[in-house]
């Protein structure tokens, strides 16, 4: 391919709407173009990258006995009504009607389609286990698409679905798939991806893992223990607080705290530490706006995922008005009345001498003893794990909190979908059973962007060899020089003959423009033929990642390049 | 791959909802499964076939300097408003809104997206020509999906768009693409595909060709001359009628034709030939139901495409009520009054002694002379070409009419989209110009189904080698026989080692079931290891297309199979 003919524009200025480097570089390098919010078109360089990623995905899925199938993008609403998700999923699921007013949806995931495809096939135990997967376009109407290809509305995804007759078999396969994912990320050039325990969210099921690429721009927070191998998504990480009573309990006393509404203000005013306080975080049930009050230790934050899982319904941050049964800024567990759901985080269990709201404007209590003053209270884990917190695995205060991009996930779904969609098989005793499912996803575009995010410099992406759009970027500097042009043309053709993916820049432009374009395309090997090099009888070969830069004799150039690849 | 593990069911009974053989065989063979009207999921055998077709498409598009890109499935309505198609296309275009009430469409074709992707890139003449293509899912809300994958609503398509600075350059490229299409169909095993001139329809532009696979179940009619190489879609074929007056004109006379409403009834009643009559075909304008009356010779049929192209607006067959200004069954050109658009087919030009309606219940005229009795009438070509009609190219009465499936199309679009979407470039004189476009489509699933339609027998598809899901179907008949199993297992592994795509049936089922499953999978080579064969020291190798059936010595089996591939 001649660079002159490559459709797409490359330019120097960082686009103002790009918050993350991968997005800016992929726009500046002519990889992608904005179509609508969270929707992009790909130019050829990106298409070549994603096709290589897809091929890696395909090979690794085939290697664990996956069968490539294809589900439709457009599905009938009835299929999603069967699983119950037509009602339970919010606006992310695009719903529309066809010319006959039949309700349809756009596929954002394909558990329903997978069950539907194999429901008749999988009627006997001897068909199991099996795994089917597809690589297909999906659409999810995200509220806030951002960061280029990292959070989009339309995306290409590899999604796989396995079916089993026992939990043990699922777990074995889950482990195989976990290893396949490790191979995929290693082959794609990011072996540093870590898998972390996660919350299963809307997918259902219990055990699940996310594969995280740690980078500051990640949207997810991950708790990692520096001592043992514990890793978990913040949403799923258990928060452990060890509390020991240090002093005898004081009496419960109401104190005047004028205009001190936040827990920080109150603690400062009363000269106490936030660790000795109890704060209230208030939500409302989506369906009827009923209030939910969560009490937790003043220095901790609420983990909404744990809260939602406990409640079993969707909630939103509360709007407290004068008509509400709650006194905003002064809410506490003592004498709290009104039609509200009250929950306690286990950080509070056993605490004494605690400061808390008095449910009365401008008043707090001090000296609260949770054992003495509150009866029949249940404590659960509703708090976020903290930097420096206790590791749920090794018990040391060694938790660090990091940011990461989720580049893949695997779920043990159990029988959520096979039960709701009534998929059954006869086991070896002739008894009807529901198969047990796992599902396994990797977003292709997001993976490409994530790789760019951790493999770039100021001048462009540094694509790992296995997914680079080309292997060699050949520059003929000053192609008006006959010797340069003749040698470069010949080398280009020789490389093509050898099956090397080469992009050839023989434009009449300055070396500066050539090199900055080469940097933006991020091809592993750059080969420069120039008048000076030709005069010295050499070509210059350098690595995009700057790991080497050498001169090869012109007559050995081809050989040297092949060797370096 | 072991057949035992292949997800999907194979069965004998023809499904009652399958009208065409390819559909029935692809359902019976476990290739596809119904999801909703015109929407299917694919099992692995079909996915393997379509991936091979896609690879052929990719190679041939790359060979004519195509650059693979990707457009989104979901596009903003604004993009289609720019081209005017948001309004002009009917219900086939799915329109919906996202969570923010922004109007979106599902891509059914991507001219708008293509122009939008390259509008900034193509601002100078020296960037031209270039071609971009994608292989992507599309959705078209067809009124009547049918025939399995031949007419669906969701489909995968290779669509390509070329951009040029002169009509001549477009024509050269168009010709290159025409040749690429011939190579594609030849490689996919259907070199018999013919290209025919066609009407450009909603795509715009003037010159276009459809690639037709002739088969009785085809939805399109094609006129082919048996003498010269003239081929045309019926919609586009010129209808030529040579009329010579044989007798002097009789006087125009009104005759009583009680209850004779069809032209056949009237001619029979008056003892005349339909070729001496003038019939009326009536339509209504979609926008306001205004009547359009088309007169043509009694034995001819109206070509609605020609009619719509002439009128420039959409029409539908008329509903004539008692309030209409027309007398159904008795409409004729003489004394026709009322607010109607009247059109004349050129078959009528110069005719005399013609029978026609009298615009009065139960009356017709006879003795009409178009030159004498009607003034200022314009005649155009509105009729369908007939079997045995005159070839527009060689002038002989040698036209045959055939049915065909459209497996590809190419269009010279001209500047329809670049003008409406204001894509311009500076030419070498510094003058702003609109680039000239071509577009080129092939539906992947339809191509697979069309190939099956012309390459099958009563027992299953006969896949051409280049697109077959596997190359070898190995059967171990009576795998409980140790020698059979050991030899077949070994042969299976040897074939895998050689990189041969082999499906291996070692199930404990009868030879009958094995062979009927093999027929349904349609793999080119079938290799049978059985107790009798082993006893004779041979394996049986046969072609799915029945072109040969031979015995190979067991120790040469591998070699023989490789040779046959």
Confidence class for position B200, pLDDT limits 50, 70, 90: low
Q: Which of B53, B52, B96 is nearest to B73 (CA)?
A: B96
The rounded distance, in Å, linking the Cα atoms of B85 and B104 is 13
Let me know if the fold of A15-237+401-453 is the same as that of A472-564: no
B1, B11, B43, best to mutate vs chain A, most A CBs in 10 Å:
B43
Judged by a CB distance cut-off of 8 A, whether residue A44 touches chain B is yes
The rounded distance, in Å, linking the Cα atoms of B239 and B390 is 7
Burial of B2 (0-12, 13-18, 19+ CB in 10 A): middle
Mean pLDDT value of segment A137-161: 96
- B 356-415 near A (Cβ less than 8 A): none
For residue B204, is pLDDT > 80? no
Q: Do A117 and B33 touch (CB under 8 A)?
A: yes
Using the structure block, give the residue that is written with the tokens 């995922």. Answer: A305
- The confidence score (pLDDT) of residue A264 equals 87
Average pLDDT of every residue of chain A: 94
HSE (CB half, 13 Å, CA atoms) of A135?
24
- With a CB cutoff of 8 Å and minimum separation 6, the contacts of A480 are A508
Over pLDDT 70: what percentage of chain A? 99
Using the structure block, give the residue that is written with the tokens 């806030």. Answer: A144
Query: B444-454 and B21-28 are packed helices; what angle lies between their axes, rounded to 10 degrees?
Result: 100
Q: Do B153 and A74 touch (CB under 8 A)?
A: yes
Q: Do A113 and B35 touch (CB under 8 A)?
A: yes
Judged by a CB distance cut-off of 8 A, whether residue B139 touches chain A is yes
B432-476 tens-digit pLDDT: 999 999 999 999 999 999 999 999 999 999 999 999 999 999 999
CB B298, CB B278: distance < 8 Å: yes
Assess if CATH 3.40.50.800 describes domain B472-564: yes
Tokens found for residue A553:
């004799």
CB A205, CB A416: distance < 8 Å: yes
CATH of B253-380, one of 3.90.960.10, 3.40.50.150, 3.40.50.620, 3.40.50.300: 3.90.960.10
Residue B432 Cα to chain centre, angstroms: 37
DSSP H helices, B226-381, are: 263-269, 304-311, 370-373
CA distances from B334 to B323, B358, B365 (A): 20, 7, 9
Judged by a CB distance cut-off of 8 A, whether residue A289 touches chain B is no
Note every long-range contact of A12-20, with CB atoms under 8 Å and residues 24 or more positions apart, other chains counting. Answer: A12/A516, A18/A148, A19/A146, A19/A147, A19/A217, A20/A147, A20/A148, A20/A150, A20/A217, A20/A453
For residue B89, is pLDDT > 70? yes
Average pLDDT of every residue of chain B: 94
Q: Do B5 and A65 touch (CB under 8 A)?
A: yes
Q: Do B42 and A69 touch (CB under 8 A)?
A: yes
- The confidence score (pLDDT) of residue A260 equals 85
CB A285, CB A292: distance < 8 Å: yes
The rounded distance, in Å, linking the Cα atoms of B115 and B135 is 17
The rounded distance, in Å, linking the Cα atoms of B503 and B518 is 9
- The confidence score (pLDDT) of residue B455 equals 97
Judged by a CB distance cut-off of 8 A, whether residue B71 touches chain A is yes
The rounded distance, in Å, linking the Cα atoms of A181 and A172 is 14
The H or E element containing residue B492 is: helix B482-497
Residue A170 Cα to chain centre, angstroms: 23
Report the residue of chain A nearest B156, measured CA to CA: A72
Q: Please, what is the Cα angle at B200 between B195 and B203, to 5 degrees?
A: 125
Nearest to B76 among A36, A121, A130 (CB): A36
- The confidence score (pLDDT) of residue A202 equals 47
Judged by a CB distance cut-off of 8 A, whether residue A106 touches chain B is yes
**Does the CA dihedral A96-B36-A55-B450 come out positive or negative?**
negative
Mean pLDDT value of segment B295-320: 92
HSE (CB half, 13 Å, CA atoms) of A480?
4
Work out the number of other CB atoms within 10 angstroms of the CB of residue B210: 26
HSE (CB half, 13 Å, CA atoms) of A516?
12
- The confidence score (pLDDT) of residue A235 equals 85
The rounded distance, in Å, linking the Cα atoms of B193 and B195 is 7
Instruction: Domain B17-237+401-453: give its CATH architecture.
Output: 2-Layer Sandwich (3.30)
Mean pLDDT value of segment B119-144: 97
Work out the number of other CB atoms within 10 angstroms of the CB of residue A413: 23
Nearest to A39 among B6, B74, B130 (CB): B74
Dihedral angle computed from the Cα positions of residues A450, A453, A454 and A457, in that order, rounded to the nearest 10 degrees = 150
B492-513 tens-digit pLDDT: 999 999 999 999 999 999 999 9
The rounded distance, in Å, linking the Cα atoms of B243 and B379 is 14
Mean pLDDT value of segment A34-61: 98
Confidence class for position B376, pLDDT limits 50, 70, 90: confident
Judged by a CB distance cut-off of 8 A, whether residue B111 touches chain A is no
- The confidence score (pLDDT) of residue B251 equals 94
**Strand locations in A205-318 (E):** 208-214, 220-225, 231-233, 253-256, 278-285, 291-297, 315-317
- B 20-39 near A (Cβ less than 8 A): 33, 35-37, 39
B521-531 tens-digit pLDDT: 999 999 999 99
Report the residue of chain B nearest A70, measured CA to CA: B42
Distance from CA of B159 to the nearest CA of A (A): 14
Q: Would you give the end-to-end CA distance of chain A in angstroms?
A: 18
**Domain covering A15-237+401-453 in this structure, CATH number:** 3.30.930.10
**What's phi and psi for B121, nearest 5 deg?**
-65, -45
CA distances from B299 to A453, B255, B280, B282, B474 (A): 71, 21, 11, 16, 58
The rounded distance, in Å, linking the Cα atoms of A99 and B89 is 13
A98, A124, A501, best to mutate vs chain B, most B CBs in 10 Å:
A98
CB A210, CB A405: distance < 8 Å: no
Chain B contacts of A136, Cβ < 8 Å? 137
Judged by a CB distance cut-off of 8 A, whether residue B69 touches chain A is yes
Confidence class for position B201, pLDDT limits 50, 70, 90: low
CB A320, CB A293: distance < 8 Å: no
Using the structure block, give the residue that is written with the tokens 């509220």. Answer: A143
A277-333 tens-digit pLDDT: 999 999 999 989 999 999 999 999 999 999 998 998 989 999 998 888 899 999 999
Chain A contacts of B99, Cβ < 8 Å? 91, 141, 143
Report the residue of chain A nearest B37, measured CA to CA: A76
Judged by a CB distance cut-off of 8 A, whether residue A94 touches chain B is yes
Q: Please, what is the Cα angle at A443 between A441 and A448, to 5 degrees?
A: 140
Confidence class for position A259, pLDDT limits 50, 70, 90: confident
Mean pLDDT value of segment B230-236: 87
For residue B415, is pLDDT > 90? yes
Q: Do B41 and A71 touch (CB under 8 A)?
A: yes
- Sheet hosting strand A291-297, strand order edge to edge: A315-317, A278-285, A291-297, A340-345, A379-380
Confidence class for position B202, pLDDT limits 50, 70, 90: very low
Give this prediction's pTM: 0.90
The rounded distance, in Å, linking the Cα atoms of A473 and A528 is 8
CB B307, CB B334: distance < 8 Å: no
For residue A199, is pLDDT > 80? no
Judged by a CB distance cut-off of 8 A, whether residue B44 touches chain A is yes
A510-561 tens-digit pLDDT: 999 999 999 999 999 999 999 999 999 999 999 999 999 999 999 999 999 9
Residue B270 Cα to chain centre, angstroms: 42
Over pLDDT 90: what percentage of chain B? 87
**Does the CA dihedral A542-A548-A553-A559 come out positive or negative?**
negative
Coil, helix or strand at residue B120:
coil
Q: Do A154 and B43 touch (CB under 8 A)?
A: no
Judged by a CB distance cut-off of 8 A, whether residue A51 touches chain B is yes
The residues facing A400 across adjacent strands are A224
Query: A21-28 and A444-454 are packed helices; what angle lies between their axes, rounded to 10 degrees?
Result: 100
HSE (CB half, 13 Å, CA atoms) of B61?
26
Confidence class for position B235, pLDDT limits 50, 70, 90: confident
What's the 3-state SS for A312-378?
A: CCCEEECCCCCCCCCCCCCCCCCCCCCCEEEEEEHHHCCCCCEEEEEEECCEEEEEECHHHHCCCCC
Mean pLDDT value of segment A242-246: 88
Task: Classify residue B78 by its DSSP letter.
Answer: H
Tokens found for residue B141:
């809300």
Task: Classify residue B124 by its DSSP letter.
Answer: B
For residue A201, is pLDDT > 70? no
Residue ranges of domains in chain A: 15-237+401-453, 253-380, 472-564
CA distances from A427 to A124, A170, A412 (A): 7, 16, 21
Confidence class for position A401, pLDDT limits 50, 70, 90: very high
Confidence class for position B205, pLDDT limits 50, 70, 90: low
Nearest to B70 among A41, A68, A117 (CB): A41
Rg (CA), chain B: 29
């Amino acid at each position: 391919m001649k660079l002159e003919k490559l459709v797409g524009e490359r330019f120097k200025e960082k686009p103002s709407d790009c918050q993350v480097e991968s997005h800016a570089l992929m726009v500046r390098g002519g990889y992608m173009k904005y179509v609508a919010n969270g929707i992009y078109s790909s130019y050829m360089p990106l298409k070549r990258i994603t096709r290589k990623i897809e091929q890696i995905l395909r090979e690794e899925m085939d290697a664990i006995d996956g069968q490539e199938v294809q589900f439709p993008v457009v599905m009938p609403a009835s299929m999603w009504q069967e699983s119950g998700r037509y009602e339970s999923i919010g606006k992310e699921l695009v719903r529309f009607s066809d010319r006959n007013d039949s309700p349809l949806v756009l596929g954002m995931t394909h558990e329903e389609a997978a069950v539907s495809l194999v429901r008749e096939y999988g009627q006997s135990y001897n068909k199991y286990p099996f795994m089917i997967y597809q690589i297909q376009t999906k659409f999810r109407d995200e509220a806030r698409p951002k960061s280029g290809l990292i959070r989009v509305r339309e995306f290409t995804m590899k999604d796989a679905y396995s079916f089993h007759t026992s939990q043990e078999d699922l777990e074995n396969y889950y482990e195989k798939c976990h290893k396949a994912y490790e191979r995929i990320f290693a082959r794609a050039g990011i072996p540093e991806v870590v898998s972390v325990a996660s919350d299963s969210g809307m997918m259902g099921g219990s055990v699940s893992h996310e594969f995280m690429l740690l980078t500051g721009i990640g949207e997810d927070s991950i708790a990692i223990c520096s001592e043992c191998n514990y890793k978990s998504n913040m949403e799923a990480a258990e928060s452990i607080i060890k509390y020991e009573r240090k002093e005898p309990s004081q009496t419960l006393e109401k104190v005047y705290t004028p205009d001190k509404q936040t827990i920080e203000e109150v603690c400062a005013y009363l000269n106490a530490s936030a660790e000795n306080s109890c704060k209230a975080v208030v939500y409302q049930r989506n369906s009827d706006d009923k209030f939910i009050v969560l009490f937790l230790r003043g220095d901790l934050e609420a983990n909404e995922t744990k809260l939602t899982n406990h409640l079993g319904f969707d909630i939103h941050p509360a709007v407290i008005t004068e008509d509400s049964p709650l006194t905003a800024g002064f809410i506490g567990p003592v004498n709290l009345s009104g039609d509200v759901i009250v929950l306690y985080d286990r950080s509070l269990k056993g605490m004494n001498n605690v400061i808390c709201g008095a449910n009365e404007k401008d008043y707090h209590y001090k000296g609260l003893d949770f054992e003495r003053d509150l009866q029949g209270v249940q404590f659960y884990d509703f708090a976020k794990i903290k930097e420096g917190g206790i590791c749920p695995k090794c018990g040391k205060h060694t938790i660090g909190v990091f940011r990461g991009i989720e580049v893949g996930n695997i779920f043990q779904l159990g029988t959520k979908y096979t039960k709701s969609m009534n998929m059954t098989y006869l086991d070896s005793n002739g008894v009807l059973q529901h198969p047990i499912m796992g599902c396994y996803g990797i977003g292709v575009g997001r993976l490409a962007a994530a790789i760019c995010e951790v493999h770039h410099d100021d001048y462009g992406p540094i694509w790992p060899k296995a997914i680079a759009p080309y292997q060699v970027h050949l520059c003929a500097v000053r192609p008006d020089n006959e010797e340069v042009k003749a040698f470069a043309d010949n080398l280009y053709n020789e490389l093509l003959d050898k099956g090397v993916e080469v992009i050839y820049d023989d434009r009449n432009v300055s070396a500066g423009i050539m090199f900055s374009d080469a940097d933006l395309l991020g091809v592993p090997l750059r080969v420069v033929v120039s008048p000076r090099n030709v005069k010295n009888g050499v070509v210059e070969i350098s690595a995009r990642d700057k790991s080497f830069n050498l001169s090869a004799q012109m007559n050995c150039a081809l050989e040297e390049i092949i060797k370096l690849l």
